A and B are shown apart, each in its own frame.
Chain A
């Protein structure tokens, strides 16, 4: 792993609504000995909204990001947000296929984009760049006894086939990380089902129905929590969980920590360094399911 070439593209939500994702990433990176470098002057990826009504603008926004990353000497652009990852990986793919379009956009930009930046999903980064052995080596409080459902959502894995780092319909990278932390994962047919994304704001009845199905199934399978790596999924599954649970007669609250928060807990980091206070459904409770941690407390 060449550490000098790695930088993070955080995306808008990690600066505000998902600042706990950012905080836990920073903490986990420091434990793993990865420099926490954020790309300079990045702009919004446009998310699903821009590409829905203006595909060209979406490509321009991401061309600008990729060109800028290249100018800053970044080879590995690590993207924690699934939506940002999907847009950047799509731009990387489209611009590699369409030489004409790339040249045209290069002409409009301050910097050209030559196609030297690799867009990495955070899960891909942890498993294939950092390595599961390094992750398990840093575990101080194994999460044994904890059973989790890994929820990938849509955009983490549904990139063009040539870009994909995991099986698109039944991914396993997050499950492998969870296993390295000592926890159990379940076989789960809902792991890539849609949470409704921005329908959570625009047509909440639809999004709440989708979230309800996901939480109901997870709870019936008796998991202690649902793990995510997407800010939008985290918001949708966590924020209004109380009312969604009562509508779907789900008794137990289901904490929805980010994968980095779970890693931090296994690495023995302090809850405040993982932003656990920002989760609506309290996360600390899952620790009581871990046999090892419980023994230490006693």
Chain B
């Protein structure tokens, strides 16, 4: 009896959590278009989220492009297909690997940061203090952060993809004597509208998911400092899972709208 009971209670808490996150998302959509708007805080959050993640995204993107090209090269050379390298790398990175890897990196960097920040504000009663001063803390803390992650993540992904292609071009230039100009000509020839647009749309959803889960976990944090750690950790774990679910749905929808035509 203990096993089925355990499964049942886990299932109940899982669906309860999904319901609560959905309600949290609904509240976000209700508040985001309703004045007063917190533009100054939004700009500050965009700066925090965008600028402070830039170096991490660039380093990750550069190594990603470098390693991907280095490891694919021998196999392509075996088939005499090394000239396909720019198109293969660019399509893989722009369509899938770039957005997913950078979103996962940002889930760790941004999602955990938001979870910990809001969590510590909750347990030290700072959120309560905002509420009793007649300010809507949901609008000031949650709406601004979710909008900022939704706007900044596509930008970070575009920058990360570009740096990844630069890393790949560098390997091709050093190992295959391919000029940067030739490499990027091949890249732009290979990339189609149907590669860039779905990936960009998908990255807005990734940003929304990172902000939403981080804020949800932090905003409803309890159990003192232990709870802050748990909120930060859960924000990363939940967001990572959610990113793969969104990615699966995005690939499925893209396949319907772009590949069939």
Do A and B belong to a common assembly? no
Chain B interface residues (CB < 8 Å from chain A): none
Chain A interface residues (CB < 8 Å from chain B): none
